[in-house]
Amino acid sequence: MDAKQRVASARTAHFSNAEGIRGLACLIVLSGHGIAMFFPAAGHSLLGVGRFGVWLFFVLSAFLLTNHLLLDRITGARLIDYAVGRVLRIMPLYLLAIVVYWWLGTTGIHTWRDVFRAATLSAGYAHLWTIPVEMKFYVLLGTLIAPIAWIRQRLGLGLAVALAIGIGLLAIPLFPPSLAYTRITSLGWYVPCFMAGVALSLAYPSLPRPRSWIAASVSAAILAGMVAITNSVRVLYGGDPSPYWPFDKFVWISVAWTVLVSLNVDRRGLISRFWQTAPLRLVGRWSYPIYLFHWLVLMKFAHGYPGSASALAIAVTITIVFAAVCHKLVERPTMKLRPRISRLLERMAIPQSLPQRQAQ
């Protein structure tokens, strides 16, 4: 990109900085939980920081998945492949994590009933509450993507984007953010976060690309703003003293994250160097197993070595190394099964005797 404003003309399958943004989200979760576990006094003033990273995950995930689905026609075969991909991406490692936590503790999964409730996505335990929410969104997106794509093609991009935004806005009075903690695994509270990512994906190819210094300045302001609204900083300027203040601000925070994603997800030049750093990209690549298992490692080390910064550093290192092993031994082999399973299910769902056009 040069310094002039440009508009993208085609949808792309790859976003060069997505992995780095995912890495940032993962590091926010790791740092928030790590400090809270090892240094409870400081952690009390950082309540909710880990969720900032979760909400960034929600926005980025919705953006990337919607973009992937919109790369081609929405057919039965594509939706089958999408469903298979989501199940294989999430469930094998998640089920492994449930068994590990049942065995070693730290999340409240103590009985076989807990195992069953967690495995069937009917209850959330500790940080694992996000998995049922994500899986429910995948179902929602699979349901919405065909009508949204039809509206975009037949009635115009503006109406499709308005529909996505409208769904997000409609969820706010139906699921008031202030009550989100009462049913933590319900998707309804977080529909605005996800639909912000969907709306961005729809509009992204037509959005102007601001100059690099503008993108960098706005991005820095957003990140600084995230720091400024943490409990530890708000007290310095007379903010709300409630430690739970950030918990119901996910709608506005997700809007800010959406702007950050739009400015950086495929940005080249100076600002891209940050997102392209190898450590950040590796954390992003291994972010899912890091997220699943970091709680166990951090809790065990924090219990044995409370208040130790070196123990925290060791725990984070062990978490990342273990996640890399999980990625290589579980994630990658599992995802290689996706084409075979998709083709098998497609043959079962779509009779091969039908003409191709009718099958689609």
Domain regions of the chain by residue span: 17-359
pLDDT value of residue 167 = 97
- pLDDT higher than threshold 50 for residue 106: yes
Q: What pLDDT score does 2 carry?
A: 40
Which of 9-13, 97-101, 271-275, 284-288 is predicted with the least confidence, judged by mean pLDDT?
9-13
Torsion of CA 244, 248, 249, 253, to 10 degrees: 100
Q: Does the structure show a pLDDT above 50 at 358?
A: no
Q: Given pLDDT bands bounded at 50, 70 and 90, which one contains residue 359?
A: very low
Residues 14-44 pLDDT 10s:
898 999 999 999 999 999 999 999 998 877 7
Return the pLDDT at 352: 55
Model confidence, pTM: 0.92
What pLDDT, on the 0 to 100 scale, is given for residue 7? 43
- The residue-averaged pLDDT of 111-119 equals 95
pLDDT tier at 101, thresholds 50, 70, 90? very high
Tell me how far apart the alpha carbons of residues 234 and 238 are, in angstroms, rounded to a whole number.
Answer: 6
* pLDDT 10s digits, 67-78: 999 998 898 889
pLDDT at residue 3 tops 50: no
* Confidence at residue 268, expressed as pLDDT on a 0 to 100 scale: 78
pLDDT on residue 286: 97
> Given the structure tokens 């070693």, which residue do they identify?
104
Give the pLDDT band of residue 185 (cuts 50, 70, 90).
Answer: confident
Six-digit token string for 232: 């530890």
C-alpha to C-alpha distance for 136 and 121, rounded to whole angstroms? 9
Residue 286 has φ and ψ, to the nearest 5°, of -100, 15
Q: What 3-state class would DSSP assign to 9?
A: coil
CA distance 62 to 64: 6
Question: What is the SS3 assignment for 199?
Answer: helix
Residue 10: predicted pLDDT:
65
If one compares 121 and 242, the residue with the highest pLDDT of the two is: 121
Residues 134-183: tens digit of each pLDDT: 999 999 999 999 999 999 999 999 999 999 999 999 999 999 988 877 66
**200 pLDDT more than 50:** yes
Q: What is the mean pLDDT of residues 81-101?
A: 96
What is the percent of the chain where pLDDT is above 70?
Answer: 93
Q: What percent of the chain has pLDDT over 90?
A: 72
Angstrom distance (rounded) from CA 350 to CA 334: 24
Residues 6+ apart with CB under 8 A from 213: none
Q: Report the pLDDT averaged over residues 278-305.
A: 96
The set of residues, in sequence order, having a beta carbon less than 8 Å from that of 226 and lying 6+ positions away, is 52, 253, 256
Q: Using CB atoms within 10 A of its CB, is residue 188 exposed (0-12), middle (13-18) or buried (19+)?
A: middle
Q: Which tens digit of pLDDT belongs to each residue from 249-258? A: 999 999 999 9
Encoded tokens for 102: 């049942």
DSSP string, 28-77: HHHHHHHHHHH-HHHHHTTTTHHHHHHHHHHHHHHHHHHHHHTTS---HH
d(CA 33, CA 57): 16
Report the distance separating Cα 130 and Cα 248, nearest Å.
15
Angle value at C-alpha 119, between 116 and 121, nearest 5 degrees:
110
Average pLDDT rounded to a whole number, residues 109-115: 95
Q: Comparing 38 with 245, which gets the higher pLDDT? A: 38
Of the two residues 269 and 107, the one the predictor is more confident about is: 107
